[in-house]
Structure formats: structure tokens, C-alpha cells
Structure 1
């Protein structure tokens, strides 16, 4: 995972964790919910994904997100107040330059560049300039007429000359937000100033010896992008608090107590790289990520910050887990209070909105607690010389679908019991 900082539609995106191979279009759609950028061929041919990077048109399906670190990105959603784009939208509607609309966002982004850069363009010039944007509906006649009409309108209004000159050599975005004043119609300095709409996404990067990994995601509730769902769970183990505290300091051991969890690399005292396999019906997700922990020995509290991305789909998650260890039974037992905050995007996001997610989290916590008790007992009796791990329930994947079914079954049974009791 890598960390990037960029400006998207005038908003600062800070500390966003992306894989090196993630395309800009996927990052915008899956992480920022900017679905106005359409994906067609995904080979840079059809032009449906065209947007602006540092004020210049770019194919976002073949542009790596990490290559846009420090750049300004403007999608179709960020062009509402652009005068040229307003004129083009009206002209496209007037000239019937769109039908299904799938190519339209990319078509408009390219058309804007033509209007600003080629004020004296002929019909042949427009057709040549727009040849990189494919449309299967209109036959291009209306598109060309719409662009011609906007150029004519601007000339009649006295707006002439090249408004979007090419001032740098190299790939689009290589200037890293050093484009001219035509970037979105305002100066780059103005668009890069944090404002009320500031967004801090995802996580920061950390370096582990074996592989690059995302560091802890530390989202603040007011400016962390998508709001997090918060859950509170409590369980008790019959072990003194100091023993439980010492065990919680072994991040690898704690991580693998979670059903379906394994390690991608050896854990350190403050950093762990987990893998979590989850099955929801026909969907099987394998989340890979990283997390860091801050511990307060004086108060027996700790906070884990982390983020992860599914290697099979567009789902991603970030979260924050806080735990408090409280003595009970005169010090012979420990109550573990856990507060979990998480945000899930992509295919599995619907799972986080479920009304029964709290029941599922409770069952997951129960399984974690059982594994924790087994590990603590094993640690107390001693680890064999051959390094045999503590006995825990072997769970290769977390079957969320089965958990959902069991929760629904229990709820239905409770309803029948209540009805029977009233009768």
C-alpha cells in the first residue's frame, strides 16, 4: 500500500492508502464515491473515463492513482460551476449530443479542452481532437455541432484566445498542480487551500522490512470522509489484568484470535499486517491491510488504527478499535470493554448498513473471547519447546452469511416465543 495526498474537486484528500496498481478511476469511484467518472474499455481507448489532472484531460482508467500524488484532479462532479462546462452542457442538450449518456462525462471533459485550447477550431479540427472519445449512439454530428456552437458563443462574447495552453512537457499530472490559471478557472493555490469541505481519507504509509504497508488510519469523526459505524462490546476472562495486558501487547497473537484472520508478515510491538477472509453468500473477500497500536500502560488502555482493502473486489475498510481492561472479582478476572469504529466501502458496504450487524459483532466477539481464553491458558501453562501454537478454533474464513442466518433464526424464534407467551 502507498499513501497519496491530492486535491479532488477542490477538496484536500490527505493520507489516502492505495495499492500501487490502483487506477485513478477506481480510486475515485470506490474510495470517494465519485461515480460520474465512467469506465468503458479500461484500456485508455474509449475516453469514457476522461477527467482533468492539473487542468489537462487524462484517461483515468490507465492513470495510476499513486502517479497523481500532489496533483489536482477534477471530475465531472467538480465542473458544475465552470462557465465553459455550463455552456457545453446546454449545447449538448440543445443539439441532442447525447443519448444513453455513458460516454458523456468523458466527452464533456474533452470538449471543454477543445473549446478552451482551440478557439478557432474548424469542424475537421474538432472531429480530429475528439476522435479519442467514442460514442455508440449519436453519430457525433450533434457533438460536433454542440462544440462549434460554444466556440461561436465565446467569440461573440469577446472571449477569444487559447485559455488552456500546454505549458509543460511530459505526462499529464507530471507538473503536480503547477498548471496555469485555467485549472478549473481558479489559481492552483486557491484550490489547494483547505476549506470546510476538507476530506482526510484512509491511512498513512508505514514501512515494514518485508513489504510496504499502510500505517494506521486515524480518521477524525468530523473530517474523515465516510462516517464510521460505532459498536460497543464487552466480555470477561478469568485472568488477572496484568496477564491480559501482556497478551494484548503481542499483536500477532491477538490478531489470530479473530475468526478468519491470519498474518501477512511477522508482527512487531506496534505494527501488524493482517489478512481477514470473509464469506457473505457467494461473495468471498480477502482483506489485506495493516494496523498500528498505541498503548497506555498507566490506564490499561489501547487504541488500534488500521485500514485494509479486499484483493478481489473494490471493498475497503478503515477503522479504530479502543480497548479498556478493568479488574473484576478482586483482581482475579478482567473485563474487556471494546469500542469499534469502522467504515466499509465497495461491494460489502451493504453489510455494514445491516440492522443486525450488532448481533453479528457480538457473536464475533464471543468467538474472539473464547480464543483469547485458550491462548491465555496456553501461555500460563507454558509453550512447548517445539513452538506449537495455542489451541484455538480453526476458522479459515469468517462466514458472515452463516452469522446472518443464525441471527435471523434467533430473532424469528424470539418473536414466536413472545406470541406464544401472550396467548
Structure 2
């Protein structure tokens, strides 16, 4: 029976981010829980983005995310990997924003000015979208931006004037962000591919499919690291030999599929994840290293999902040692990973570590079954909820087994 042991090695909550802010590429480190508004104000010194309620109600923090208005106080910075962010500072030379500023001055549409940056960004979106200067639709469109000074009448007049003037000049409507392909998800969740520092795989057969655009960082430094180990009732040499068989390992890992012919030093594949009716597929590539004399190895990979712009890089170092009993083995793992994009906000180290523990336990059971000559019962997809339920139910199963054993 496989036995799992987990220990924390290190924890660093900061993650690297690459995004475009006001047309300028930015690379920065931030905690996954950091909100975009705090990143813009405190780290990038773009204080034109104001913070009011910090609950997404007042609209003072509104920015453009991939061309669409979004609440910066509710948007995780980690969800903006690869996105284009435009603040009020980035609209200095924007034609529509310039016309709106002139109209706001003319119609006395501002007083204290605290709501004005978010109000201008929301108004700009209406100027782009509304076919005519309809007061009711303008008021509905600005309902998410609160102003405690003006009474809104001047703001509405200013927006109506700009829309009317532009339509009179023959300028048509345009959907913001229409040139950016979208997938399911929040504002800014573009359809894209994961990208990391370009260090290609060793020269061999060319990559095909979604994994072809994914490259592996040469100097990968994980944001989070933890250790795991499990025992297998088979000799260490047999266990190490099976771990060197990529196809056999994929057959033991829940949700794993190979998308190309594996090589001794590289592999392309995918991980299928299903949560209820929602299914996702993460495509990736990995480099493989083996040290037969030390019965050790290293797997370094990168991958991402095509629909949600999430990406991950990871490293697994393993070592096969002799177990406590003769003829058994202990597999010691060191796991490091970095999550980027929308997935990062759910990637709390404790949650990931628990899920990885359940996944490793199931992998260990399938590995032991295969070594015993029994086909592993790996599910077609990875079901995180089922794995977490197993984590919760295991103590109950152990108590029930102990109670039964204690009965005469």
C-alpha cells in the first residue's frame, strides 16, 4: 500500500507578472492576492486610478483591461498576465477622452474630481458603443460610477454632446476590445497561449499543436516549493525503471494524455481537468533528465490553457531510495511551481499542496498496481473535487477500519 508524506520546504508568495500598462511593457513581481488598483497605485505610481469603496460599487477605480472597462479594486493582479491595461494617464492623447474632458469642463460636469478618472473611462466606453445620444441609456451606462458632487446632470449633458457631435461627423460605433479574441471568463480573459522565457527543447522532431508555442525557462525559479514522498512495495530499481517510462507514467497520472511521441529527454502532453460540467485542457511540454547511478531524475515543464490565459511552470525532482522494509522503495519528491493568469488567484500554496498530495497518492496507487501487473485504474480526467473529497473522507475511513479491527 502506498504511503504519502508531505512537508513544506519554502514559501514565497510573490509571482512574476508581464503585462502592458499604457502601451509600455512591464515586468514586475506581486503577490497573487494583490489587486490591480494597488499594483497600479503603489508599485507603478499611477495614482490617477482612485480607490473609493474598494467593493466594486463606486467605479472610481475603473480602468481599461484589454480595451474594456473593469474595476481595478476587484481584479487580481495575477489575473492580468499578458493583458493590456490602460489607466486615465494612458488616455492623455486619446481623441475621445480629449473631447470628453472639454465637454466636462464646458458642462460643469466635475467638482471635487475624485470620481472623474473612472467616470471619463466609463463615458468613453459609452461614446464608442451607443449609436445615438440617448439620455436614458447614458444614465444606465453610468449607473456604476457614483458622484457625490454634481448631481449627474452636467455629466450626462457632456456625454450626450460628444456622442451627438461624433455621430454628426459620421463616426460609427465600435465595440471596445472587438479586435481581441475572447474566451469564457471575466473582462480581460482573452483567448491566448502561455508564454515563458524562450529556451527551446533540444533539437528533435518539431512540436505540433497547442504545445508548439510553449517554451521552457532555462533559469526557472519556482514561486512555491514543497516536498512529498510515498512508499511502494517493490524494489527501488524496478520503481526507478518504471519512472523512466514516460508512457507508463502518463498512464498512472489522472487526467494526463500524451500528444506526441515521447523521447527519452522530452515529452509533449496535456492534463484534462473536469469540475462538474466545466472541462479544461492544459497543454504543455517538458524536459526530462535521468541520473541512473543515483536513481534520481528531474522533470522541468511549462504549460497553459488556451481559453483562460492561465499558465504554469513547474519542476519535479525525484529520488528513489530503499524503503524501510527489504524489497520496498521510497520515492522522494521536491515540487516547485509558478502560476500565472486567472489560475493564480486560486493557487494558494496550502490548497495546491493538499491537491498535489491527493494526486500523488492516486499516482502512487496506480504505480504500484502497474508494478504488480495490474492495469492502473487512472480516471480519464482529473477531478479536483473528487480528490479533495477523498482527502476529507480518508480520516473517516481509517477510523472505521480501526473500529472494525478492534471488535472481537
**With structure 1 as the length reference, what TM-score do the two structures score?**
0.50
Q: Name the counterpart of 1:104.
A: 121
Asked whether 1:202 is paired with 2:228, we answer no
Which fold has the larger relative contact order, with Cα–Cα distance below 8 Å and residues 6 or more apart in sequence? 2
* 1:238 paired residue among 223, 233, 246: 233
CA–CA distance in structure 1, aligned partners of residues 240 and 397 of structure 2 = 39
Distance 1:340 1:82, change over 3 A: same
- Structure 2 distance, partners of 1:144, 1:245, is 72
Q: Matches of residues 132-171 of structure 1 in structure 2 within 5 Å?
A: 137=138, 142=158
Is residue 211 of structure 1 aligned with residue 208 of structure 2? Answer: yes
Q: Find the aligned partners of 1:406 and 1:299 in 2 and give their Cα distance.
A: 34
Cα offset, 1:322, TM superposition: 1.3
- 2:305 is aligned, of 295, 306, 310, to 310
Cα distance in 2 for residues equivalent to 1:275 and 1:281: 19
1:233-256 Cα shifts (integer Å, max 9, x gaps)? 101223333333332222232223
- Judged with a 3 Å threshold, the aligned counterparts in structure 2 of structure 1 residues 289 and 84 are, in CA distance, closer, same or farther, namely same
Partner of 2:365: 370
SS in 1 for 2:380: coil
CA contact (8 A) 1:48 1:104 kept: no
Cross-structure match for 1:76: 86
In structure 2, relative to structure 1, the CA distance for the partners of 1:357 and 1:144 (3 Å cut) is: same
Q: Note the C-alpha offset of 1:320.
A: 1.5
Contact 1:266–1:272 (8 Å) recurs in 2: yes
1:334 alignment partner in structure 2: 329
**Distance verdict in 2 for CA 1:374–1:74, change over 3 Å:** closer
Paired with 1:294 and 1:102, the residues of 2 have a C-alpha distance of 55
Q: Deviations over 1:182-218 (max 9, x none)?
A: xxxxxxxxxxxxxxxxxx9635344743515223345
Aligned residues: 273
CA-to-aligned-CA distance 1:300-326 (integer Å, 9 cap, x gap)? 332212122224544332211111222
- Counterpart Cα distance in 1 of 2:371 and 2:398: 35
Aligned to 2:7: none
Task: List aligned pairs for 1:255-270, cutoff 5 A.
Answer: 255-270=250-265
Cα pair 2:232 2:364 within 8 Å, conserved: yes
Aligned-residue RMSD, C-alpha: 4.9
User: Does residue 272 of structure 2 align to residue 277 of structure 1?
Assistant: yes
Q: Which residue of 1 aligns with 2:386?
A: 402
Deviation at 1:141, TM superposition (A): 6.5
Q: Which runs of 5+ in 2 are unaligned?
A: 1-17, 29-61, 70-81, 132-136, 140-154, 163-193, 400-408
Q: How far apart, in 1, do the equivalents of 2:233 and 2:89 lie?
A: 60
Give 1:398 deviation, angstroms. Answer: 1.4
Q: TM-score, normalised by structure 2?
A: 0.51
Distance 1:303 1:239 in 2: 21
Distance 1:264 1:362, change over 3 A: same
C-alpha displacement of 1:271: 1.3
The answer to whether the 8 A contact 1:285-1:313 is kept is no
Contact 1:203 1:306 in 2 (8 A): no
Three-state SS of the structure 2 residue aligned to 1:403 is helix
CA-CA distance at 1:410 after TM superposition: 5.1
Matched, 1:393 2:377: yes
2: CA distance between counterparts of 1:270 and 1:403?
A: 30
Given that 1:259 and 1:396 are in contact with CA atoms closer than 8 Å, whether structure 2 keeps it comes out as yes
For 2:278 and 2:342, the matched residues in 1 are separated by 9
Separation in 2, partners of 1:255, 1:319: 16
Displacement of 1:260:
1.5
SS at structure 2 position matched to 1:396? coil
